[in-house]
Structure 1
């Protein structure tokens, strides 16, 4: 039986890859597991951050668009990224770290039933550190020992993802009836759904809000990718999504994984992505993220592509 295994990765827009790279590596202590380009527009960087090997469920990825304007916030958008940390002590560690480094943040509060600390990256992307309270996480998640953050307080991976839409019922139906999400909690216009019952690493919090749709820009979220095991299951989901009347991109080979894309009724873009082959397909674990990595179909353009990119290191 095909199942959604949680989140795979989430992709955002940045105006400046160099500053983005510094924040996610040096401030948040994530590993840059791949320095690549937008495969559809290779003049732009595509950066991948995560755990030791960028395991599925830990990936934050950024497309660099140097000419992008600011985000005009609104509805029909993915609006916040939850990141799990090990404990309540970890939240205190991060609060002190943000104060020391001048990162915009709020006080520790509660969000989706967990202790949480909200903050923003330099471009206004909204994120939330959430206490995992020593609950189970995927076994493949692996700490990066060379991180600037001590292992006991490192970001583990993705937690609750917030999505605000005009019609929450339609999004709920898509997630429950197609993908098998279950409703954990319903409160007013908020619906908390889980891909795996009782687990925070595949959670989506849906909020309903009327008003203008968000106009994306720097610091906005482009899409959320859901995790599936392999090519066979991806083909199953491609047919399942089409059966429900949605158009899909068809299966796309992204070299590091295969995936498909579709927009649900509110316009939210979802990707469904496979675990394999992963980011070590063209690099050793030790050298991940150091050199510019290109998929085979772009390798013959390496000199041209590198000449158009500002060096990051």
Structure 2
């Protein structure tokens, strides 16, 4: 997908269209348990082992496809002493990945053999999905989808190409009332309407065509508790900007719309801006470049702790404060 000029809705300022999901970032507790699950159970690749740049006393672990393609990435801040979060309103409550068509039966059997509880395979009409929880309670969904070439599947782990996790499919935001959030996605961000239901709406970053990897579901649930972002919950979601120029346009237009947007921040592997939607969920716009091979070879991605230049002088102290992380051998 690419970012194109579009005719904005009446009254809106947006002249660029997002290019789909870039990554989702969540909070965990034990980094080893987190790595064991995403590497050994879901079979993803650890493409970057670094630290939270704003709090370098904790890891920042990035899981993705073989090369860390934007749109395939799930990242974690594992704080060992983090309290459990609360799933509720003002929060991203589901993160969905695509797997090959016809593979959910295999996945359900695999997860059962590993004593991991799942939902029944659910036919939702437009998609077939399987839900499960990671060790900290984060809700992850696997959704069958035809091959679309968005990713380079990682097959050197325990899951072969016929079943491997491909890419991000959709995120679900639960709100007390989703109407204001819907206005932000439609008017300020230029998302297109895919479908509406009694208690929610689906938008797509690709202009409403409903392409996988570009989807956000907004659900109203006024009976749900207010969400608490802590262990087992999503910290933020990021949308793709193809380059710095597009990101700068987005930032200027969002500021003009009255949103409180951060300055552009250097995350070493991409550049980011952050702002909150009306319900409170933290949103990010992240650039595709420079990518994860900027500081280590493709074959070595995720094998060693990498630090940005401004933290490198403190490497010894940072490493001393991080728990050891034992990774499986790669084939």
User: Match for residue 191 of structure 1?
Assistant: 201
Deviation at 1:276, TM superposition (A): 0.3
Q: How many angstroms apart in 1 are the aligned matches of 2:93 and 2:125?
A: 14
Q: How many angstroms apart in 2 are the aligned matches of 1:228 and 1:266?
A: 23
Secondary structure in structure 2 of the residue aligned to 1:267: coil
Deviation at 1:72, TM superposition (A): 2.0
Q: CA RMSD in A?
A: 1.1
Where do residues 208-227 of structure 1 align in structure 2 (5 Å cutoff)?
208-211=220-223, 212-227=225-240
Secondary structure in structure 2 of the residue aligned to 1:107: coil
User: Match for residue 94 of structure 1?
Assistant: 107
Tell whether the 8 Å contact from 2:175 to 2:219 is kept in structure 1 after alignment.
yes
Q: 2:44 aligns with which of 26, 30, 49?
A: 30
1:74 equivalenced with 2:88 (yes/no): yes
Q: How many angstroms apart in 2 are the aligned matches of 1:97 and 1:240?
A: 47
Deviation at 1:176, TM superposition (A): 1.1
Tell whether the 8 Å contact from 1:112 to 1:160 is kept in structure 2 after alignment.
no
1:273-310 alpha-carbon deviations (Å, 9 max, x no partner) = 00000000001010000010101110110001000011
User: Match for residue 229 of structure 1?
Assistant: 242
Q: How many angstroms apart in 2 are the aligned matches of 1:130 and 1:71?
A: 25
1:157-198 alpha-carbon deviations (Å, 9 max, x no partner) = 101211101221111111111221111110111101111123
Secondary structure in structure 2 of the residue aligned to 1:290: coil
Secondary structure in structure 2 of the residue aligned to 1:218: coil
User: Match for residue 302 of structure 1?
Assistant: 315
Question: For residues 112 and 200 of structure 1, do their structure 2 counterparts lie closer, same or farther at Cα, with a shift above 3 Å needed?
Answer: farther
If each structure's helix is expressed as a fraction of its own residues, which one has the higher value? Answer: 1
Q: How many angstroms apart in 2 are the aligned matches of 1:198 and 1:128?
A: 17
Question: For residues 112 and 238 of structure 1, do their structure 2 counterparts lie closer, same or farther at Cα, with a shift above 3 Å needed?
Answer: farther
Number of aligned residue pairs:
309
Where do residues 98-113 of structure 1 align in structure 2 (5 Å cutoff)?
98-111=111-124, 113=126
TM-score by length of 2: 0.91
If each structure's strand is expressed as a fraction of its own residues, which one has the higher value? Answer: 1
Q: How many angstroms apart in 2 are the aligned matches of 1:240 and 1:148?
A: 45
Where do residues 133-282 of structure 1 align in structure 2 (5 Å cutoff)?
133-134=146-147, 136-138=148-150, 141-196=151-206, 197-211=209-223, 212-282=225-295
* Unaligned 5+ runs, structure 2: 6-15, 327-331
TM-score by length of 1: 0.96
Tell whether the 8 Å contact from 1:71 to 1:218 is kept in structure 2 after alignment.
yes
* Unaligned 5+ runs, structure 1: none
Tell whether the 8 Å contact from 1:112 to 1:192 is kept in structure 2 after alignment.
no
Q: How many angstroms apart in 1 are the aligned matches of 2:220 and 2:125?
A: 15
